[in-house]
Structure 1
């Protein structure tokens, strides 16, 4: 499959890797990397450097066309060598998935107003779908959506409550999912809006996403009818357009982070002496690094296979579910072993390994927990094998 990646994509990936290693690694110790994610000041400073280096939004060409999913996999993996890399080059979630969705489904007017500033890296976005479990709202089961959309003249009025909305604080573009009498809908909104109130920013295990994850109250939000994405009732269809590739691009970025963690742990194990020899020469340590190499390669192959399926034009929900499960679980094993190899140093913030461990642990939950994807796959297995 690697033979299907053309020279253009390889050159882009090489430029992205060089940029992230040279310009972005030093920012990992910047005090503007806060508990609720890097500040927007830091994000824009890094993006200015990426713009100057010609690597901003590298997976989207100037004419608006995209690299293939397989080519994107290589570029995003290189951007992920630092948790800050995807932010710097504008390949991070939720913006990357939102750009993909708008590129596929938005009208020309919507693209000019909402997509263009995202591609240019001057604005961030948020995807408002998940709802509080305490209110039996939409979480892993979007069919439980409680947020409503009611027509009122040439507007829609939206009411509801959302949670774990990544990047809501500081976002300029919002995609809001709500339920009309026809079914699920998506609306494009300018942010901030007084009708969308951030109740609180959650304290979570991860810290790589600007604005972190918010609980949001939507109170009589009025949205012009021409800001609906597509038609009323088609929201779930559009959600699948976004979610299948987005699950995979998460895998791509975090694979890059685990490449980096493995580099650091390997260097540590080869330099650190214990009981008369380098740590790597102790089988208990060397075997962990060997197992990591196997998991890294298997993750790469799973991502490339799934990307190739998406490139055929298939929706790829089954394949992306399998990739999400296999890769997120493998990456957690890798990050865990890197921490273990490094002992106390791996638990400290002296290196980025500690953060990679936290971020990858969170990845096993967002965009669908492992168990939900397995359950979905089991249902499809049963359907294809009726008794």
Structure 2
């Protein structure tokens, strides 16, 4: 593939980098910038979002007719990486999970009426959203075929009973996408629904305490006790819930990786700056071979991650689901993020373990990366399935058609 980016994408990347440097990174060192769950406070977030909108850096991933800039996945990879140089970046530019994936799904499969009712308020920044799929045992997690929450059709309405948990952002969300079982068909037994927080028949049982800093709205456990959803709020159609999850989760896994690369690079940046100024036993840390080996290896691993992300992004732009490529990127980049934060802390010593830098924030956040949207082991199994079915073709090169090469 041609790794050169267009002047348009470079312009967005450059302007995002300037915004992050001057508007967001200075906020990270002020305790007043954070809410009680260690994310940017909602009042400050609103002010920063208004600035991002004013500078034309809002919802770049969506089509112009939806309210975005029409970036393809390759362009998103470049821009999302730049956004997440700051821990506050993605949510300020309206490219943070779960809104990011929900907006892209609704843009692709929503009817005109559904887009107006459920998508546009998220695009405008008026509401937040959540994607309710994961369930406590014995329900579905990485394996959606295990989903237990059921939606029974009664006339023109579906009545939902069941439980979900670790639903990101549920505490602040107004718009929900719910995956529930409508039949026992192994392929067409799931359906995707839309519902609003004010509808009766459901409740948040608890905001689950977690190890790291939390997204706005936390990670919640939800009970459905007769939620009624009209049939016009079905996405794609009854029995198409598995298709909806596939459309959403492939790109969503990759956008996580795009953002994580930005945090990985930020961790290296903090480590480099400290190593350049800190001396001990008559020598700068930066001049020690052990430090050079640590940073050099990180530079390599991050670049490998960037190549895997770009390959997967390119495949998605060609119309492929890119399941193999996305799994490789997800597996590698999740581990690189953890390595980068850990190495940054090690080089900074006690300073890295303190809250004087964002390294400890990134470190706690990074541990979830190897779990969300499929644990490492799930993606290794996916890759083994492809290896078993494809054999040596697992490593094939795409070949240009005669028309493209002429």
CA separation of 1:38 and 1:363: change in aligned 2, threshold 3 A: same
> Would the aligned equivalents of 1:37 and 1:211 in 2 still touch at CA under 8 Å?
no
Show the counterpart of 2:83.
79
Deviations 1:222-253 (A, max 9, x none): 01100000111111111111111111100001
- Structure-1 residue corresponding to 2:14: 14
Aligned partners of 1:47 and 1:30: how far apart in 2? 17
Per-residue CA distance 1:316-337 (angstroms, 9 max, x = gap): 1111111100111122212211
- Residue 112 of structure 1: aligned partner: 116
Give the structure 1 partner of residue 56 of structure 2.
54
* C-alpha distance after superposition, 1:6-65 (max 9, x if no partner): 111111111111111111113324353332644433332321221222212123353236
User: Which stretch has the larger CA shift, 354-363 or 192-201?
Assistant: 192-201
Matched, 1:175 2:177: yes
Secondary structure, aligned partner of 1:34:
coil
SS at match of 2:178: strand
Structure 1 30/49 Cα, relative in aligned 2: closer, same or farther at 3 Å?
farther
Q: Kindly state the Cα deviation for residue 193 of structure 1 after the two structures are TM-superposed.
A: 3.2
Judged with a 3 Å threshold, the aligned counterparts in structure 2 of structure 1 residues 273 and 167 are, in CA distance, closer, same or farther, namely same
1:292: Cα distance to partner? 1.1
Q: Are residue 332 (structure 1) and residue 338 (structure 2) matched?
A: yes
Q: Which residue of 1 aligns with 2:5?
A: 5
Corresponding position of 1:140: 142
Distance in 1 of aligned mates of 2:163 and 2:82: 36
Count matched residues.
384
Residues in 2 aligned to 1:2 and 1:246: alpha-carbon distance in whole angstroms: 24
Residue 93 of structure 1 is matched in structure 2 by 97
Is 1:257 the counterpart of 2:260? The answer is no
The CA RMSD measured in Å over matched residues stands at 1.7
TM-superposed deviation, 1:5: 2.4
Task: Tell me the distance in 2 between the aligned counterparts of 1:48 and 1:195.
Answer: 35
Aligned partner (choices 43, 47, 55) of residue 41 of structure 1: 43
Give the TM-score normalised by the residue count of structure 2: 0.91
CA distance in 1, matches of 2:320, 2:112: 25
In the alignment, the residues of structure 2 paired with residue 237 and residue 286 of structure 1 have an alpha-carbon distance, to the nearest angstrom, of 47
Provide the C-alpha distance between the structure 1 equivalents of 2:346 and 2:307, rounded to a whole number of angstroms. Answer: 25
Q: Is the partner of 1:30 in helix, strand or coil?
A: helix
Query: What's the secondary structure of 1:244's corresponding residue?
Result: helix
1:194 equivalent in alignment to 2:200: yes
CA contact (8 A) 2:264 2:336 kept: no
Measure the CA separation in 2 of the matches of 1:234 and 1:325. Answer: 27
Tell me which residue corresponds to 1:269.
275
Q: For residue 289 of structure 1, what is the aligned residue in structure 2?
A: 295
Higher deviation after alignment, 167-176 or 280-289: 280-289
Corresponding residue for residue 374 of structure 2 = 368
Gaps of 5+ in 2: 393-406
1:318-361 deviation digits (Å, cap 9, x = unpaired): 11111100111122212211111111111111111111111121
Cα distance change of structure 1 residues 75 and 385 upon mapping to structure 2, 3 Å threshold: closer
Q: Residues 83 and 208 of structure 1 are in contact (CA less than 8 Å); yes or no, is this contact kept in structure 2?
A: no
The question of whether the paired residues in 2 share the 8 Å contact of 1:37 and 1:212 is answered with no
Instruction: Give the distance between the partners of 2:211 and 2:122, measured in 1 at CA.
Output: 27
Residue in 2 that maps onto 1:67: 71
Structure 1: gaps of 5 or more residues: none
What residue in structure 2 maps to residue 26 of structure 1? 26
How far the C-alpha of 1:192 sits from its partner, in A, is 3.8
Change (3 A) 1:118 1:55: same
TM-score in terms of structure 1 length: 0.95
Instruction: Provide the residue aligned with 1:122 in structure 2.
Output: 126
Aligned-partner Cα distance in 1 for 2:45–2:240? 34
